[in-house]
Amino acid sequence: MSELEWFLLGHVVCVTQWAAFIWVDYAYLGVGRLKHPLVWGAVLTACEMTISTGFHIDFFSSQSIFINVVFVLLSTLLFGGSLSQKLTAGLINGTMCLLEENAVRYVASWALQTSLLTVWHRAECLVAMVITNLIVGAVVAHFSRQWKDEQALESPQALVMSFFPAIVVVLNTVLMVSANDAPATPMMLVLTLGLTVAVLVHMAIVQMFNEQMVQQQELHVQAALEQERAEALMESYTTQRRLTHEFTNHTDALAMLLQQGEYEEAKAYLATVTKNIAATTTIMDTHNPLLDALLSKKYEEASKKGVLLYFDLTDLRDIPLEKTDLVLVVSNLLNNAIDAAAQAAPPEVHFRMRKTETELLLSVRNRVKKNFDIPEGQLPRSTKKEAGHGMGLRNVCEVLEKYQAEYTLSCRDCWFRFTTSVPTRKV
């Protein structure tokens, strides 16, 4: 292979490798505040290519490693996600790059009986590297997107889980820079491929652990729903007994007034009772009994916390959400909104639900104590010590995605907004 052919093919390897990095970042981090991140990714690739060719940097050298590290770090800035998520994406890309590069290098050196230092000058090795970049990049991007959508691990857990891949990165770096002018031995080949298999096994274990965490969260949500139903039933029973007792007292009092001929006092008493009942009773009329009961319960909970809860509702008798999903979505949204509004001034929550021929529109808007950042495509987090909207929102979004629903969330001017549009028919 001529020097020009090697130069051109080597840069094809670089471009496919950088494209794989961008691919994984886009899948794992999603779109951030920067518009058209893929276009900017192409610009970053062109800049790296210009630097590499302008300074005549050899492929697979220490300078090349440095350029790749810089590219991996800069590429994460083009997309969304938190700092920990960006570091995780960088670790994924670094591990992917080193594993596939060393695997192709050592396998090619052993198969072709070519020195580890000169195997990159073989066209077969470079073509294999190009194909590997494209295949591995696509596979890793697919699983990265799945991992992001189903991730249940908290940051400390994810940090611990990433410890082993970090060690593998270090070991692969040592293997890369310590290559000598001799073909790969069977022992070195086994070591290289063994590290790759070890990472795959590790990721499989992490995925199993993550699935268990997801199942636990789902069980927790179901348990919370059952508890809520039980509390609602008991509260309804208690309220009914109280109203029955009060009704009996009122009818007895009216009967005595009428027997005594105190008709004007009876009218006044009846008017007072009617006024008191109207002031303490919230009547929902969406033609959806489950939703009416749920919203009434949330109104009472908000009132107990000093939160003003306003409704904007229409006829909701036929909505595209199953009963369990409806309870989960509305309960979590209003619970989060009420808890956050209770710490703000004025403590307000606005709940709007409308249905058209094509979609169900639902929005929750509430006051918050202070603004907080919401990276595009990401969900806010909260803890038990600090009221927020992170708890429960992930479950809400998972339910909405099941119905191919679109949702947006924002926090501006001390107002948190969550809006979703659920198609009346699955697309």
User: Where are the chain's structural domains?
Assistant: 3-215, 284-427
Residue 353, SS3 per DSSP: strand
Q: Where are the alpha helices (DSSP H) in 281-366?
A: 289-304, 323-341
- Tell me what percent of the residues of the chain surpass a pLDDT of 90: 15
- Between 55-64, 78-87, 222-231, the lowest mean confidence (pLDDT) is in 222-231
Higher pLDDT among residues 2 and 348, named by residue: 348
- Between 53-57, 101-105, 355-359, the lowest mean confidence (pLDDT) is in 53-57
Could you read off the pLDDT of 273-320 as tens digits, one per residue?
776 665 555 567 788 888 888 888 888 889 889 999 999 999 898 888
Query: pLDDT confidence of 389, banded at 50, 70, 90?
Result: low
Beta bridge partners of 407: 420
What are the percentages of helix, strand and coil residues in the chain, rounded to 5? 65, 10, 25
CATH code of the domain occupying 284-427: 3.30.565.10
Asked whether the beta carbons of 176 and 195 are under 8 A apart, the reply is no
- Between 100-109, 365-374, 384-393, the lowest mean confidence (pLDDT) is in 384-393
| pLDDT, position 140 | 85
- Between 147-151, 190-194, 202-206, 397-401, the lowest mean confidence (pLDDT) is in 147-151
Mean of pLDDT over the chain: 80
Asked whether the beta carbons of 372 and 411 are under 8 A apart, the reply is yes
Answer yes or no: is pLDDT of 27 > 60.
yes
| pLDDT, position 386 | 43
The arithmetic mean of pLDDT across residues 390-410, rounded, is 81
Asked whether the beta carbons of 331 and 293 are under 8 A apart, the reply is no
- Tell me what percent of the residues of the chain surpass a pLDDT of 70: 78
The arithmetic mean of pLDDT across residues 112-116, rounded, is 83
| pLDDT, position 312 | 92
The arithmetic mean of pLDDT across residues 121-148, rounded, is 85
Q: Side-chain half-sphere of 3: how many Cα atoms within 13 Å?
A: 2
CA distance 360 to 142: 31
Answer yes or no: is pLDDT of 221 > 70.
no
Could you read off the pLDDT of 136-167 as tens digits, one per residue?
889 888 877 777 666 655 555 555 566 666 67
Answer yes or no: is pLDDT of 400 > 50.
yes
The arithmetic mean of pLDDT across residues 174-194, rounded, is 74
The arithmetic mean of pLDDT across residues 197-204, rounded, is 78
| pLDDT, position 325 | 85
Query: pLDDT confidence of 60, banded at 50, 70, 90?
Result: low
The arithmetic mean of pLDDT across residues 38-62, rounded, is 81
The structure tokens 């051109």 sit at 8
User: Amino acid identity of 360?
Assistant: L
Answer yes or no: is pLDDT of 361 > 90.
yes
